[in-house]
Structure 1
Amino acid sequence: MGRRILITAGAAGIGRAIAERFISDGDQVAVCDADPDAVADFTAAHPDAIAGVADVTSETDMDTFLSDLEARWDGVDVVCANAGTGGPAGSVETLDYDDWQRCIATNVHGSFLTCRWAARLMKAQGHGLITMTSSTAGIFGYPLRAPYAAAKWAVIGMTKTLAMELGPHGIRVNAICPGAVEGPRMERVLERESAAAGRSVEATRAQYVKGVSMKTWVTAQDIANSIHFLASDAGNKISGQVLSIDGHTETLAP
């Protein structure tokens, strides 16, 4: 009945695009998301998929959701540790510590809890693919976005390490680095960055485009298509890689 696919933060945005790409193949898909409304909307659109409310920073939430999923599937073929948050914007001396911690927790701790579960099941079955959603902020410095950059660089380090740990067991691990992705989430980022920099949203938007060789943003579907390729037979020797889907970012500096 198809592959078994888990996507965190999978009920909306990039995660939903990934989920729907695999659903179109007839795969078994499970998503968790911290937003109950997004989960309800996803369930209405895809009643045959598994969807639950879970905060990836909560070990209790994740243990409950993943234990239930394991009881249903007894294994998993592809895990997309996709959950993340943009965090606060501002110069380092102005940042709030609680905001810093929330950004690190969602992006890093959430990936850890997801991958810890995936690694155990995949080692037992001798195969699997894990993707972690980092960002071009995970490979560049990112002025006014220190928490986000720190978190996404950490995701790269986790990816490289897990690829080494799990490779001998037939498990591949890769990081996906989206550039600026069209959609509501990026619009909120633009507003925060513009306020922190004291410039208009349109000026910030133009700055993003200027820093990309192809002079374009990307779509959630672009990200979903790339992960779908990694999960295919054509991608079965790709591991430990940091794959930027971004039109070639040259800089994130203003």
Structure 2
Amino acid sequence: MGLLDNKVVLVVGVGPGLGKEVARIVLNEGGRVALADISEEAMADTHAELDPNGERTLTCRVDLQDESTCLAAVDAIRNQFGRLDAVVLVAAFAGAFDLLADRTIENWKLTSDINVAGNLRVIKASTDLLTESGGGAVAIVGSTAGVLPTAGYTQTAYGISKAALIAATHYLSKELGARGIRVNNVAPGYKMGPALQSALESWAEAADTTTEAVSGPILDTLSLHRFANDVDVANAVLFFITDLSRNVTGQTLYVDGGMILH
């Protein structure tokens, strides 16, 4: 038996990387997946790779800035699967990598509207169906940037938006707990993938050295001396959307190799 047998999970943000890995793990654990993304191409690629016959997946375009697309996605899930047991929010706008002085407030609003209000739009749209299905779980993908400015990254707007999601986790866990809905946050730190690899290469070029030389001091700040990967983070999400965490809500789990210690 799988941990998610007969369960339905909405994953928002299913392009290459973490979202796809979350969808893969859900399917491997016996669940069904609604694949949601703003990119039709990303959804099609993930669908073709994970469930080419479409037996256990549904694709639905979601624009985090457009509440109507969130509502339409939940309607599609209701019509095809008849229930919803978990929501995983992976999608985010990470393009705001500069300083306060270098951006207009309008640009900052874009980061907030996608990363904070966008998550809230999906959760709000999903709440009734989650309740009708007997309660469920919401897993928000945050970031250690929400509590600790990251050396080498000028990501003030992004970090502030991720900090807001930690607060949202606390408040929504209280509000939705009476409806049997748990709300938790998975916060990766340095995660090896295209973004981190590109950053390491850029820093190495600027310092006229190797990526190994620039990654060494970063790894020294991590208790485990290794970067996380998408599977590491997806497994943490799995914990929060299954009955393994049936009495856990309002929490943030740092998947960072021991960078943040409590």
Structure-to-structure mapping, 1:134-213, within 5 angstroms: 134-142=142-150, 144-188=154-198, 194=203, 202=211, 205-213=215-223
Taking a change above 3 Å as real, the CA distance of residues 34 and 206 of structure 1, as seen in their structure-2 partners, is farther
- 3-state SS of the aligned residue for 2:30? coil
Taking a change above 3 Å as real, the CA distance of residues 58 and 178 of structure 1, as seen in their structure-2 partners, is same
Q: CA deviation at 1:32?
A: 0.7
Taking a change above 3 Å as real, the CA distance of residues 62 and 187 of structure 1, as seen in their structure-2 partners, is farther
The answer for the alignment partner of 1:246 in structure 2 is: 256
The residue type equivalent to 1:12 in the other structure is P
- 3-state SS of the aligned residue for 1:175? strand
Specify which of 54, 69, 83 is matched with residue 61 of structure 1.
69
Specify which of 80, 97, 101 is matched with residue 72 of structure 1.
80
Give the distance between the partners of 1:185 and 1:60, measured in 2 at CA: 31
Equivalent pair of 1:4/1:73 in contact (CA under 8 Å): yes
Q: Which moved more, 1:155-164 or 1:47-56?
A: 47-56
**What is the number of residues matched between the two proteins?**
248
Structure-to-structure mapping, 1:84-95, within 5 angstroms: 84-95=92-103
- The superposition leaves residues 53-72 of structure 1 with CA deviations (integer Å, 9 ceiling, x where unpaired) of 32222223323323222222
The residue type equivalent to 1:241 in the other structure is Q
Give the distance between the partners of 1:177 and 1:11, measured in 2 at CA: 19
Equivalent pair of 1:3/1:77 in contact (CA under 8 Å): yes
Give the distance between the partners of 2:24 and 2:101, measured in 1 at CA: 41
The residue type equivalent to 1:110 in the other structure is G
State whether structure 2 residue 48 is matched by structure 1 residue 44. Answer: yes
Equivalent pair of 2:222/2:258 in contact (CA under 8 Å): yes
The answer for the alignment partner of 1:23 in structure 2 is: 27
The answer for the alignment partner of 1:4 in structure 2 is: 8
Q: Which moved more, 1:218-227 or 1:117-126?
A: 117-126
Give the distance between the partners of 1:117 and 1:60, measured in 2 at CA: 9
Give the distance between the partners of 1:204 and 1:101, measured in 2 at CA: 33
Specify which of 223, 226, 244 is matched with residue 234 of structure 1.
244
Q: CA deviation at 1:50?
A: 1.1
Equivalent pair of 1:11/1:32 in contact (CA under 8 Å): no
Q: Which runs of 4+ in 1 moved over 6 A?
A: none
The answer for the alignment partner of 1:82 in structure 2 is: 90
TM-score, length-scaled by structure 1: 0.87
- The superposition leaves residues 85-115 of structure 1 with CA deviations (integer Å, 9 ceiling, x where unpaired) of 2232222211244442332222112210111
Taking a change above 3 Å as real, the CA distance of residues 23 and 238 of structure 1, as seen in their structure-2 partners, is same
The residue type equivalent to 1:224 in the other structure is A
Instruction: State the identity %.
Output: 25
Taking a change above 3 Å as real, the CA distance of residues 65 and 151 of structure 1, as seen in their structure-2 partners, is same
Equivalent pair of 2:139/2:241 in contact (CA under 8 Å): no
Give the distance between the partners of 2:214 and 2:146, measured in 1 at CA: 20
The answer for the alignment partner of 2:224 in structure 1 is: 214
The answer for the alignment partner of 2:17 in structure 1 is: 13
Equivalent pair of 1:172/1:240 in contact (CA under 8 Å): yes
Question: Gapped runs of 5+ residues in structure 2?
Answer: none
